[in-house]
Amino acid sequence: MQIPWQDRPAGSKAPMWRYSENPIIPRDLLPDSNSIFNSAVVPFGDAFAGVFRCDDQNRRMTLHAGFSKDGIHWDINPETIKFDCDDAEIGEWVYGYDPRVTFIDGRYYVTWCNGYHGPTIGVAWTTDFKTFHQVENAFLPCNRNGVLFPKKINGRFAMLSRPSDNGHTAFGDIFYSESPELQFWGRHRHVMAPAPFELSAWQCLKIGAGPVPIETPEGWLLFYHGVLRSCNGYVYAFGSAILDLDEPWKVKYRSGRYLISPREIYECAGDVPNVCFPCAALHDETKGKVAVYYGCADTVTGLAFGYIDEIIQFTKETDIQNV
């Protein structure tokens, strides 16, 4: 299995760079889709699988499973995922979006923004990306951007999330929570707040975890999005942070600079202009490469590449945590 990759463009010194063939998933890959973005992919067997946010032409938000040999060309099921759930009230579908997929101890866990009297964190697991078993919502509404760590911490499931309101939330800190069994959650700890405007403006309104954190000797490497509010609305960019391995609510380093901010026309124009929103990352441990999947303008899906070592270095060099 080989992750998608393209070398750094000649002359560039940027810590991450875009795939030249972006967007890799067009808005109308499905015949009825309005847009496909903010989607979650993982290695699966000797290929890749994923859970995709596909808004249909009612502009309803739905989740679909998909498969790919190379991580670039995808077959997405036209049918939405149907989650099995023992509890009818929890299993009733209202809406779901912005999924993440985490592999832990033989199961692929899906977390997503799930409609239950407001947005909260839906949780389900699968072993085959065909049957999905939905369990209890992790939190009370309103919450978004729930991301599981890829292994238990302190013997418990561990999740990052961002408490929200029920609209276009104008605030947002990242918190950490634990659960013994994915039913009851607690031990809530604050991780990080938006940055001061004078220090790092691209992340001064709200922030949220992106892909599943990547374990490195330096700590958990977290890609996270940040939002700046201009007079013409929100701008979503993303940067990186290093969290303590054992106490992941402790931030060791946090990039003052963004890694990717809207610049290409497919990021600047679309259903929501000026959005780069990462939801998944594939990494090649042996070669130290990482490929980040990110939603572009809430319309299509793009890829960006980098070396983990360099990104860690970048995070330290531009650090705003220890200033």
CA 225 – CA 281 distance, rounded (Å): 13
Site for a second copy in 62-81 (CB under 8 A): none
310 sits near a second copy (criterion: CB under 8 A): no
H helical segments located in 30-140: 88-91
Taking CB under 8 A as the rule, does residue 95 contact a second copy? yes
Which residues, 138 to 197, sit near a second copy by CB under 8 A? 138-143, 161, 163, 165-166, 168, 171, 173, 175, 177-180, 183-190, 193, 197
Name the burial class of residue 93, with classes exposed (0-12), middle (13-18) and buried (19+) by CB atoms within 10 angstroms of its CB. middle
> Cβ 175 to a second copy, closest distance in Å?
5
Q: Which member of 7, 45, 58, 106 binds a second copy (CB under 8 A)?
A: 58
Torsion of CA 12, 13, 16, 22, to 10 degrees: -10
Q: Is 251 near a second copy (CB under 8 A)?
A: no
200 near a second copy, judged by CB under 8 A: yes
Residues from 3 through 22 that contact a second copy (CB under 8 A): 13
Among 21, 47, 265, 317, binds a second copy (CB under 8 A): 265
In the complex, the smallest distance separating the C-beta of residue 7 from a second copy, rounded to whole angstroms, is 19
Question: By C-alpha distance, which of 231, 211, 230 is closest to 306?
Answer: 211
Residue ranges of the alpha helices (H) in 3-153? 88-91
β-partners of residue 63 are 53
Residues 6+ apart with CB under 8 A from 45: none
Q: Rule CB under 8 A: is residue 268 a binding residue for a second copy? A: yes
* Number of residues forming the site for a second copy (CB under 8 A): 81
Three-state SS at 122: strand
Given the complex with a second copy, which of 42 and 113 has the nearer CB atom? 113
Among 201, 276, 303, 304, binds a second copy (CB under 8 A): 201
Q: Say if residues 120 and 138 touch (Cβ distance below 8 Å).
A: yes
Pairing type for strands 233-243 and 219-230 reads antiparallel
Q: Which is closer to a second copy, CB of 4 or CB of 34?
A: 34
Site stretch for a second copy (CB under 8 A), options 24-32, 97-105, 125-133, 213-221 = 24-32
Q: Considering beta carbons, is residue 42 or 191 the nearer one to a second copy?
A: 191
Q: Residue 142 to residues 50, 63, 181: CA-CA distances in angstroms?
A: 25, 20, 22
Q: Pick from 34, 38, 39, 102 the residue near a second copy by CB under 8 A.
A: 34
